[in-house]
Amino acid sequence: MLRRISTYRLRLLQDPVLALGLVLLALFVWLIALPIVMILQDAFTSQPGDGAKTRAADGAMTSYYITRALASRMSGIIFFAPLWNTLVVAVSAAGMALMIGAGLAWMLVRSDLPMRGWFSVALLIPYMLPVWTFALAWVTLFKNTTQGGQPGWMQALGAETPDWLAYGMVPTIIILTLHYIPFAILIIGGALRRVDGQLEEAAQMLGARRWAILWRVTVPVMRPAVLSAGLLMFADAIGEFSVPYILGLPVQFETLSVSLFRAISTQQNGMAAVYATVVLLIGVITLGIDTWMLREVHRFATIGGKGTTSRTSPLRGARWLLFGAVALLFVVSVILPLATLILSTLMEIPGRFSPDNFTLDYWIGRSLPTVAMTSGILLAPEFWHAAWNSLRIAGMAALAAGCLGLLVGYVVARSPWRWLAVSLRGVTFLPYLVPGIAFAAAILMLFAVPRGPVPALYGTPWILLLALVADQMPFSSRVGISAMAQLGSDIEDAARMMGAGMLHRMRAIILPILNGALATAVLLSFISGIKGVSLFILLAVPSTDVLTTFSLRLVDYGYAQAANAVVLVISMLALLGSFAIHRLAGPVFAQGWGR
Amino acid sequence: MPEIVIDKLSKSFANAHAVRDVSLTVKAGSFTCILGPSGCGKTTLLRMIAGLEEASAGQIRIGGRLVDDPVQGTFVPPEQRGVGLVFQSYALWPHMTVVQNVEFGLRLQRLDASARRARTRAMLDTLRITELADRYPAHLSGGQQQRVALARTLALAPQVLLLDEPLSNLDASLRLAMRAELARLHREFGTTIVFVTHDQWEAMTLATDIAVLAEGEVQQTGSASTIYDRPTTRFVAEFIGSPPINILPAGSPAAMSLIPQGVPERDQITVGLRPEAVRISDRSAPGSLSATVTAVLPTGGSWIVETAVQADGIGVVCTTLSRPIFVPMQPVFLEPQNDGMHLFGPNGRRLSDFPSNLMETS
């Protein structure tokens, strides 16, 4: 009996799928689980140089950081205010986006709104753009004298904007709401499309009126999708960094992610670990609730029905009024910010609309009268350096994440050991629970110093690359797993019967069949790599700047036009990529991943 | 034309026994069917013969060669077993044309180009799909896809051909054509063919030998007629036959009236009646059951008459080739014929052939 088990086990170890699975597991434990564990640990260990405050040796256990955050004289300022700000911003933005998005989704899917086909693509554009595009446009428009430098347009036109409108919480909430509305439309609209029209017709046959059908049938059936969309937006908003960073400084408005950034940049690693732990906890709890609710959704299996024809409801008298409202939203969320940014890069002095004020200097000028950035952005070597970094890092990370995702899918589908499949799926999903900036902090703490055979990576492009690969794994592994699940095992067994080894099967059978899914995954990862900022802001140094961090650096130094120009380039790349995916695979954004 | 010998084969997954202690000999050159309801372990058994699954216990020998024995640590990988498998889903590679699909295995064998082309062409001709050579699987009908799958497998000249539900994905007329085709291939190539199915029609019409499998265990082996005429267990009797055999539960008045006095433990015996072995008459005869017609249903070439036995209301279904003269609610008499009557003991095993024989043994 013993011998039987041992020979069986021995042969299993020679199985290439298992070998591959174990290698992948080791890789992701190192790249994903280890940093997260370390940052949790750092919140409770005395950091180098903090001995006087923690009264503990370096590396010893201490509750100093937690106490300082939660129960010290400073708690209100350094912890509870940012926590309150974070929660208010996340709840308000998610809630408003949900309400507006639900209404829009219903109008786009179920009503006779004019041009709804066009709107259902056009209204998604804000989600394809980096969110701080809007923050920069907002600053360009509303900046007042509280902050020095060039004036905002409103001010230049003679209207002094109040601080509460120019900076801080209000604009942050408005901008995040505008950014999330497309996401709400996608999720709720998608669910609405899949609701079996026969459910509603059945209610109609029983004599229910239109509003009764909407309230008693459609809304309850939709509830899981709506709540899920809300929670996902909330979790994303918790970790949002760039918008409160740009808009918060002049009025000392901080959210947890900004506090985390400030703690890291002032060498307070212990406090940074506390912020990261809190952000992480909120993320885990939120997504835990979401997962738990999704399990409940199985009660609503009818949602996945045949998706039969559903009739459209006439909007009657309100039709053109609502059309106007939707068109206005499009103008406010797409045209206005982009036009503002474009114009801002073309004007010598902000907000002065006279013909002699227009210039291309900020794009292609030479010998500008500024301290740095003396040439237009397209002639600045720093720009091309950052652009090359962006393309190279995002491109390589996207390729690596796509291929690794496919391999994870392969092992999950084929592993004879269930625990291997389960733990691979779990560990690759972890980064989704962790907001980008907290994950970046964790990666930074792991790779800032040499550990074992791995040299210190801070200051090299490698740390950005590794962070991006890890950050994209939740998405790419899901693509890989679902693609492999659809592929089934027969198609591979057929080749195995003929003696094709695993590598040959990968090359000749699996990759050619899945190349569409792979290309989509790679392209989506590439876009989020190009436009992502919260993951990189902690990890990039001037020599490894990517476009996003370069642009934020320009904001910090007050080169608003140059910063806006860089953001416009990023937006253009993101839009081009999104439309490429749209052509390649249909509206994949509908899955709500690429963040 | 190798023989396949399966000895006390078991396969258990994490917490379930898929196949339990199965022993079975597939005769060389036979066309053997493993027949059983879905979930009975038949596909697992087939995959173990193919080498896609490893046995947990027991042995498999193909042509005298031991290919799987976990105790000795022997496991011959699928490609070295001389076995070809046609999947239920056909598993054609969607990104390859018909020719590329068929060539795949030959390329792996490093056949030179001219021999490969000749062999491929010959296979396409044999399966009459030459004109589909450059099409992709997505543009083929179900029947055409199956021919390609067969060609792909047969191209490597396997000594044993395994088929997973070969006819189940085809429509009625195509099934007849494919049935004939498989019979022809069996004659032409002389390979040993093993196929699994849950469809008794598929099993009875194709196979020379049938093994009935249920809950991971072999219930009965034999030719189609043996299994139909002399089912060894109540399960086999109920599984084979359409409409299914009528069961008169042990101890019911109807069952008791059919089992001669003097048979020991008469009230423990279940009676099975084949629908075509029950004659309906409007006159009483010795040993007949009085019943009432509940429905008369035409099925095309024959009729089904549903009745209820008057004594206890048990439904008895009869089939007849001639148009019945009976109408619903009409009282009739049922005369079971001895050759369609089967008796099963409390353990579900067949007792003996006929009630009269039981008398003699008692």
Statement: residue A492 has pLDDT above 60: yes
Output the pLDDT for position B352. Answer: 67
Confidence at residue A588, expressed as pLDDT on a 0 to 100 scale: 42
CA distances from B34 to A219, B25, B202, B210 (A): 51, 11, 11, 6
Report the run of H or E that residue A110 belongs to, with start and end. Answer: helix A81-110
Residue at token pair 């237009």:
A376
Mean pLDDT lowest for which of A11-15, A528-532, B80-84, B122-126? A11-15
- The region that residue B82 occupies, defined by phi over 0 for left and psi between -120 and 50 for alpha, beta otherwise, is left
Cα dihedral sign, A394-A400-A404-A405: positive
Contacts of B105 in chain A (CB under 8 A): 498-499
Give CA angle at A459 (A453, A460), nearest 5°.
65
List strands edge to edge, sheet with B315-320: B278-281, B331-336, B289-298, B303-309, B315-320
Non-local CB neighbours of A60 within 8 Å, separated by 6+ positions = A45, A46, A54
Least Cα distance to A332 among A168, A587, A100, A573 occurs for A100
pLDDT confidence of residue B87: 92
pLDDT at A171 > cutoff 90: yes
CATH class, A63-301+324-349 region: mainly alpha
Average pLDDT over chain B reads: 88
Q: Angle formed by the axes of helices B98-108 and B113-126, to 10°?
A: 130
**Unique residue bearing structure tokens 């709506």:** A226
Q: Nearest 5°: phi and psi at B19?
A: -135, 135
**How far does B152 lie from chain A, in Å, by closest CA?**
10
CATH number of A15-44+366-490+516-595: 1.10.3720.10
Is A496 in the B-facing interface, judged by CB distances under 8 Å?
A: yes
State mean pLDDT over A27-44: 91
Kind of pairing between the strands at B315-320 and B217-222: unpaired
Question: If DSSP codes are grouped into helix, strand and coil, which group holds residue B344?
Answer: strand
pLDDT tens-digit series, residues A195-226: 767 777 777 788 777 778 878 877 887 887 88
- Mean pLDDT over residues A369-390, rounded? 85
Residue B355 has pLDDT above 60, yes or no: no
Chain B nearest CA to A491, separation (Å)? 5
Q: Is the CB of B104 less than 8 angstroms away from the CB of A508?
A: yes
Integer Cα distance of A25 and A31 in angstroms: 10
H-type helices in A111-218, by residue range? 116-122, 125-128, 132-142, 153-156, 163-166, 169-194, 197-205, 210-213
The pLDDT value recorded for residue A11 is 57
Q: Over pLDDT 90: what percentage of chain A?
A: 30
How remote is the C-alpha of A310 from its chain's centroid?
33
User: Are the beta carbons of A499 and B83 separated by less than 8 Å?
Assistant: no
| pLDDT of A14 higher than 90 | no
In the 8-state DSSP scheme, what is residue A302?
G
Q: Which is it for strands B341-344 and B270-273: parallel, antiparallel or unpaired?
A: antiparallel
Hey, CA dihedral for A533, A534, A535, A541, is it positive or negative? Answer: positive
Contact residues, chain A, for B93 at CB < 8 Å: 491, 494-495, 509, 513
Q: Would the pLDDT of A106 be above 60?
A: yes
Three-class SS string for A332-366?
A: HHHHHHHHHHHHHHHECCCCCCCHHHECCHHHHCC
Mean pLDDT to the nearest integer, B138-165? 91
Calpha distance B72→A6 (Å, rounded): 11
Q: What is the mean pLDDT of residues A537-541?
A: 89
- In tens, the pLDDT along A444-464 reads 888 888 888 888 888 899 999
- Subunit contact A497:B95, Cβ cutoff 8 A: no
State which H helix or E strand residue B341 sits in. Answer: strand B341-344
- Whether residue A498 lies within 8 A of chain B, CB to CB, comes out as yes
More confident residue, B203 or A212: B203
Q: What number is the average pLDDT over the span A143-165?
A: 83
Return the higher-pLDDT residue of A194 and A415: A415
Domain boundaries, chain A: 15-44+366-490+516-595, 63-301+324-349
- Tokens 């066309």 appear where? B31
What pLDDT is stored for residue A3 in this prediction?
Answer: 45
The whole-angstrom separation of Cα A417 and Cα A210 is: 52
How far away is chain B from the Cα of A483, in angstroms, using its nearest Cα?
A: 14
Distance (Å) of CA A435 to CA A188, A195, A215, A276, A458: 23, 32, 35, 9, 20
A63-301+324-349 shares the fold of A15-44+366-490+516-595:
yes
Q: How confident is the model at residue A311 (pLDDT cuts 50, 70, 90)?
A: low
B chain contacts of residue A496, beta-carbon cutoff 8 Å: 52, 78-79
Interface touch A496/B78, C-beta < 8 Å: yes
Give yes or no for a contact between A245 and A131, defined as CB atoms under 8 angstroms apart: no
Mean pLDDT of the B262-284 span: 89
pLDDT for residue B115 is more than 90: yes
Average pLDDT over residues B332-347: 89
Residue located via tokens 């900004």 = A258
Q: Which chain B residues have any C-beta within 8 angstroms of a chain A C-beta?
A: 14, 50-52, 54, 57, 70-71, 73, 75, 77-80, 83-85, 87-89, 91-95, 104-105, 108-109, 152-153, 156
- CB-count exposure of residue A126 (10 Å: 0-12, 13-18, 19+): buried
Q: Is the pLDDT of residue A495 over 50?
A: yes
Instruction: Note whether A508 contacts B75, CB cutoff 8 Å.
Output: no
Contacts of B92 in chain A (CB under 8 A): 491
What is the average pLDDT value for chain A, to the nearest integer? 85
Q: pLDDT over 70 for what percent of chain B?
A: 97
Res A591 pLDDT > 50: no
Please say if the pLDDT value at position B58 is more than 50.
Answer: yes
Mean pLDDT of A78-97: 95
Q: Does position A477 have pLDDT exceeding 60, yes or no?
A: yes
Does position A365 have pLDDT exceeding 60, yes or no? Answer: yes
